[in-house]
Chains A and B, each alone.
Chain A
Amino acid sequence: MSVARRTFIQLGAGATVGILFTPTVWKALDDVSIWTQNWPWIPKLKYGAVEAKPTVSKMCESGCAVKVRTVAGEPFGTMGNEDNPISGGGICPLCANGVQVKNSPNRIKAPMLDGQEITWEKAQEVVAEKLAAAGSKVAVISGDQTGTANEVFSALLADKGSDAFYMMPCDMQAADKAWTGLMGGSGQVGYDLEGADLVLLAGADALESWGPTVANLKSFAANESGKFIFAGPMQTKTASVTSLWVPVPAEGMAAFTLGIAYYVLQAGKTVDTADFGQFKAMVMSEYSPAKVEAATGVKADRMADLAKQLLTASNPVVVPAGPVAAHGAAFALNLLLGGAMKALPEFGKAIPSAMSRSEMLKADILEGVDTDLLFIYEANPAYALPEKVKAGFTVAFDVVQTETTATANLVLPSLHPYERFDDLASPYGLAAATYSLGAPVCKPSVDAISAATFILGLADLGFESFEEVLGAKAEAVGADMEALQGGEAFVAEGETPAAASLAANVLGKAAVPVKGTGAVGLAPYTLLNVGTANQATTPNAPCTISNNQLVGDHMVVMMGSATAKQLGVSVGSKVKLSGGKGDCEALVQIFEGVMPGVVAAPLGLGHTVGDEFSKGKGDNVYKILTVSSEAAAGASTWAGSTVNVAKI
């Protein structure tokens, strides 16, 4: 026994030494060390051709013309499209994160009926049944300001004998109500920011969140000799790069504009409309600088100086935002000045029975919606509208889960803009009518279909798919489909605007500042990186949100030191803002760029549904906005919202 054991030990010792004289051990160690660098969960690169495919992104309100960077057909990044005038190679903070949103776990992955996953066939059956039962009590809320998908939805409504098409509140709507509604103008209003030598941004935060922001920034950069002035209740980022900030309360913007018009009329400027005399008399008597100063707090001298600058400029333009009255006043002033405001021709319709854009903008969603069957297309009214939208059955189309999809009866996943055909027809604010088209750049990553194609399956509207509708649209526009798919835009120059009336009667009453009863005025503002009414902040954007909007999970509101003293709060105070039909919690920040008696709060925070980047971050300011009626103008507005502030 001991012999075998000793021999074995000697043999083993020899084997051990022997193996050390071979590469085996060292190779095994080397391989194991490499193996430890290659755990199965380590992401693997996708190899293949790197391309930049043109398409359109619909994440911001005006939409961006983009190029999606792909490798082996898989998108990994988004950049601007230098061949398209909307983009000029730039991109907004929301659309820049298109790929991240496309791949987000927050995407709706399949049709859901009352929380249960169903097939598309079943969804089609359910909607067809509800549609038949609803008769003409069908409504649509659209969050898309530029797409031909709206034509498909409105054609469905027309087929059912309904005209209840609602757009989410937007400046394009206020502009249309003022221009085509009150003043009898035609086409869509645009502003030549690049060609103007003086731009008065009357509340339009054009370099941050208003209109086609990227195009505005490009125009601002290209317009080296032009002078930009910003008027509004707070010194926005736009105001910080303009030549001058004129503090004007939001509800006083129309009166302020008419106060400037006073001097312009005094200088002898006229407009060829039937009611010009009436308009002049109204302004001269009711909006004299002294009266405007008393109503808005803006010094008469300041208005006189602005009027002088506008009168001496060769191509000035006033760019409004907010209520219908503010738009009407600005358009009247622009007509008097004869500057860089344009009237854009409207593109032809793809579907004859569809509404025109102007018709789509007529209904006022702030007055409330009550219907049997409601289609919500990529909008988030449950989050952004203080008034309840009532419907017997709600069908919500969206790419990602939102407060609206959480409460809808039937949720249908939309294709992401990079996975579908879509278009951008004349985003509001551009100086030229512009049409861009987007085609899919990658395969769908969830079980989604085009919302418009789904609708086309519900009624005989003359088209089988949305792609066909866009073909017809391109033809109606007169554009070359191949060039559009290659990323180029079709452009029709804006024309000199002409109005039938200056709406003297209406403006005289509607421009009077109306303020709520709260302790301080509320100046809600939008930053694209924080989000919009339809789109919460995107995955890479939170790191760009500053401490003036969000600290940890707490929203931050800004006010001047005089206002803080008046309210008995200081930097870091936790406060409750009450207004409208709700209240918000926030921390206080002192910023002297906010008018006295006003508190500025960021819109877009406080989501209760969404991804880790937006859910539970800050509070929802839409809850504390007060809807007031612009009685004379036949519209509703949030301007003039006030809040009470209590320290907690």
Chain B
Amino acid sequence: MEERKASKRCGGVFPFIIGFLAFCVLGWAVIPGLFFDKEEQPVWFSHAVHVEGQGMDCESCHYFRDDGTYAGFPTNEVCAECHAVDPEEAQAAIVEEGIDPTDYDAIMKAGIGAIEDNLASSDDDKMQAEREYVVKYLIQGKEVPWLNYQYQPDNVYFSHASHMSLSIEELASLKKELSDVVDPSVFEGEAPEQNCNLCHPKDIQANDVPPALERNILSGYSKTTMKMWKCERCHALKGQPNACYTCHK
């Protein structure tokens, strides 16, 4: 009897409502965040230092090759145009010091002239980042495994060349229709000369600390990787073909 009374006291719609509201809040505010792991870039690369500090422009590193393909991230060959540490000379100096060439910490602490004398940075923290790049990648002949915030699956053929003529200014008329495809803030303020912001982090050229890549723990893709429906929506709005072979070559 006691239990029946208790049931009446606690019964009704309230527990249902509490459960409903609690999981609505969790489902909207908490759980989506749990789907992503944050991964830091392998090297602290400051766009601000390179663009504002050294007066470089986007095309210095992110350029189209002679055959029209897009180079994406710069290779060691490009970086070495400015970071003038000679890999062979540095390796020889490391061996001369009696340091294990794979013991990066020891190399960085040793203050080896063949490396230190050729570092371009002046601030201590920036110099440490540059030193890390030089020691771990440049003199090892290994390319930096940069994390790509927008990388597409291998079965998608995305041509930067085909999209380079898209104008943010012109697309502003479709701002409302595109609101769930691209970040609406892209259309705020004066339209930039280049349209990279449409898909890539806005104003990344002024960024000093690279944002962490948020990787979906289930799918493995970046949070900002564009989904197929977004590509299709934009193609439809721009009157472009949406046949499978347009992107899946």
B67 and A50 contacting across the interface, CB-CB below 8 Å: yes
Docked complex: A1-34 residues within 8 A CB-CB of B: 1-3, 6-8, 10-19, 21-25, 27-28, 30-32, 34
Cβ-based interface call for A38 (8 A): yes
Of A3, A14, A28, A37, which contacts B153 at CB under 8 A?
A37
Given contacts A15-B19, A18-B23, A22-B28, contact A3 B218 (CB under 8 A): no
User: Which residues in A have their C-beta under 8 angstroms from that of B31?
Assistant: 22, 24
Within residues 27 to 72 of chain A, which ones have a CB less than 8 A from any CB in chain B? 27-28, 30-32, 34-35, 37-38, 42-45, 47-50
A23 and B219 within 8 A (CB) = no
Closest partner residue, chain B, to A10 (CB atom): B15
Which 8 pairs of residues, A with B, have the shortest CB-CB distance? Answer: A22-B27, A14-B19, A18-B23, A3-B6, A31-B218, A14-B16, A18-B20, A10-B15
Shortest CB distance B93–A (Å): 24
22 residue pairs bridging A and B, Cβ less than 8 Å apart: A1-B3, A2-B7, A6-B10, A8-B15, A10-B19, A11-B15, A11-B18, A12-B19, A14-B21, A15-B19, A15-B20, A15-B23, A18-B22, A19-B24, A27-B32, A31-B216, A31-B218, A32-B218, A32-B219, A37-B153, A38-B220, A49-B69
Q: Known interface pairs A1-B3, A3-B9, A38-B220. Does A49 touch B15 (Cβ–Cβ under 8 Å)?
A: no
- For A19, the chain B residues whose CB sits under 8 A away are 23-24, 26-27
Decide: B67 and A35 in contact? CB cutoff 8 A. Answer: no
Contacts of B22 in A (CB 8 A): 14-15, 18
Q: What residue in chain A is nearest B8 (Cβ atoms)? A: A3
B27 contacts A35, CB within 8 Å? no
Determine the chain A residues whose CB is within 8 A of the CB of B17 once the complex forms.
14
Q: Scoring B residues 48 to 73 as 1 if CB is less than 8 Å from chain A, else 0, what string do you get?
A: 00000000000000000101010110
When distances are taken between beta carbons in the complex, the residues of chain B under 8 Å from A18 are: 19-24, 27
CB distance from B31 to the nearest CB of A (A): 5
Hey, which chain B residues are within 8 Å of A28, CB to CB? 35, 218
The answer for the CA separation of A10 and B32 in the assembled complex, in Å, is 25
Which residues of B lie under 8 Å from residue A2 when comparing CB positions? 3-4, 6-7
C-alpha spacing A15/B27, complex, angstroms: 10
Q: Are A47 and B72 in contact (CB under 8 A)?
A: yes
Within the complex, the shortest CB–CB distance from A34 to chain B, in Å, comes to 4
- In the complex, residue of chain A having the shortest beta-carbon distance to the beta carbon of B6: A3
B221 interface residue per 8 A CB criterion: yes
Q: Assuming A3-B6, A15-B20, A19-B23, is B69 touching A35 (CB within 8 A)?
A: no
B27 touches A23 (CB 8 A): yes
Chain B residues numbered 10-45 whose CB sits less than 8 Å from any CB in chain A = 10-11, 13-24, 26-28, 31-32, 35
| B81 touches A (CB below 8 Å) | no
Shortest Cβ distance from A5 into B: residue: B7
B125 proximity list for chain A (CB < 8 A): none
Q: Does B123 contact A (CB under 8 A)?
A: no
Cα-based distance from A19 to B27 in the complex (angstroms): 6
Q: Residues of B contacting A25 with CB < 8 Å?
A: 27
User: Could you tell me if A23 and B15 are in contact, using CB atoms closer than 8 angstroms?
Assistant: no
Tell me, in angstroms, the Cα distance from A44 to B220 when the chains sit together: 14
Establish whether residues B20 and A17, one from each chain, have CB atoms under 8 Å apart when the complex forms. yes
Question: Does the CB pair B23–A7 fall under 8 Å?
Answer: no
Does the CB pair A3–B35 fall under 8 Å? no
Q: How far is the CA of A10 from the CA of B15 in the complex (A)?
A: 6
Q: Do residues A3 and B219 form an inter-chain contact, with CB atoms below 8 A?
A: no
Residue of B18, B20, B75, B220 near A35 (CB, 8 A) is B220
Q: Are B15 and A14 in contact (CB under 8 A)?
A: yes
Task: Give A10 to B8 CA distance when docked, in angstroms.
Answer: 13
Instruction: Give every chain B residue within 8 A of A37 (Cβ-Cβ).
Output: 153
Query: B7, B13, B27, B32: which has the most chain A beta carbons within 10 Å?
Result: B27
Interface contact B220-A3, CB-CB below 8 Å: no
Residues of B close to A24: CB separation below 8 A: 26-27, 31-32
Given the complex of chains A and B, what is the CA–CA distance between A49 and B143 in angstroms? 13
Closest B residue to A21 by beta carbon equals B24
Q: Which chain A positions have C-beta within 8 A of B69?
A: 49-50
B72 near A11: Cβ-Cβ < 8 Å? no
Task: Kindly state the separation between the CA atoms of A14 and B31 in the bound complex, as whole angstroms.
Answer: 17
Q: A23: which B residues are within 8 A, CB to CB? A: 27-28, 32
Looking at the assembled complex, report how far the CB atom of B142 sits from the nearest CB atom of chain A, in whole angstroms.
12
Taking CB as reference atom, which chain B residue is nearest A19?
B23
Q: Chain B 192-229 against A: per-residue CB contact (8 Å), 1 yes, 0 no?
A: 00000000000000000000000010111100000000
Chain A residues, Cβ within 8 Å of B32:
23-24, 27
B95-131 interface (Cβ within 8 A of A):
none
Beyond A11-B15, A19-B23, 11 extra complex contacts between A and B, CB < 8 Å = A10-B16, A11-B19, A14-B15, A17-B20, A18-B19, A19-B24, A22-B31, A23-B32, A24-B26, A30-B219, A35-B219
A3 with B27: CB separation less than 8 A: no
Cβ of B188 within 8 Å of any chain A Cβ, yes or no, is no
Q: Please give, as numbers and ranges, the residues of chain B lying within 8 Å of A16 by CB-CB distance.
A: 19, 23
Given A31-B35, A50-B67, the answer on whether A14 and B20 have CB atoms closer than 8 Å is yes
A6 CA to B13 CA, complexed, in Å: 11
B72 CB contacts on chain A under 8 angstroms: 47
Residue B154 at the chain A interface, CB threshold 8 Å: yes
Closest to B31 in A: A24
CA distance A47 to B153 in the complex (A): 12
B-side contacts of A1, CB under 8 Å? 3
Q: Which of B15, B17, B221 has the most CB of A within 10 A?
A: B15
Within 8 A of B (CB), among A108-143: none
**A23-B32, A28-B218, A47-B72 are known contacts. Are A6 and B11 too (CB-CB below 8 A)?**
yes
Assembled-state Cα–Cα distance A19/B28 (Å): 9
Interface residues as binary, A509-533 with B (CB distance below 8 Å gives 1, 0 otherwise): 0000000000000000000000000
B76 to chain A, nearest CB (A): 12
Task: Please report the C-alpha to C-alpha distance between residue A567 and residue B220 in the assembled complex, in whole angstroms.
Answer: 68
Whether the pair B218, A6 counts as a contact (CB closer than 8 A) is no
Report the separation of the CA atoms of residues A313 and B151 in the bound assembly, to the nearest whole angstrom.
66
In the complex, chain B residues whose CB is within 8 Å of the CB of A12: 19
User: Is B7 touching A3 in the complex (CB atoms < 8 A)?
Assistant: yes
Across the interface, do B19 and A27 meet the contact criterion of CB distance under 8 Å?
A: no
Check B3–A34 contact: CB distance below 8 A: no
Please give me the residue from chain A that is nearest to B34 by CB atom. Answer: A24
B2 nearest in chain A by CB position:
A3
- Which B residue sits closest to A3, measured CB to CB? B6
CB contact under 8 A between A31 and B20, given known A21-B27, A22-B27, A47-B72: no
Find chain A residues with CB under 8 A from B220 CB.
34-35, 38
In the bound complex, CA of A511 to CA of B21 (Å): 103
Chain B residue at minimal CB-CB distance from A38: B220
Tell me, rounded to whole Å, the shortest Cβ–Cβ distance linking B4 to chain A: 7
Are A10 and B216 in touch, CB under 8 angstroms?
no
In the complex formed, the residue of B with least CB distance to A1 is B3
Residues of B within 8 A of A44 (CB): 154
Given contacts A27-B35, A37-B153, A49-B65, contact A7 B15 (CB under 8 A): yes
Assembled-state Cα–Cα distance A398/B99 (Å): 38
* Residues of the B chain whose Cβ atoms lie less than 8 Å from the Cβ of A48: 75
Residues of A within 8 A of B14 (CB): 10
Q: In whole angstroms, what is the CA distance A25 to B35 when docked? A: 11
Chain A residues closer than 8 Å to B27, beta-carbon distance: 18-19, 21-25
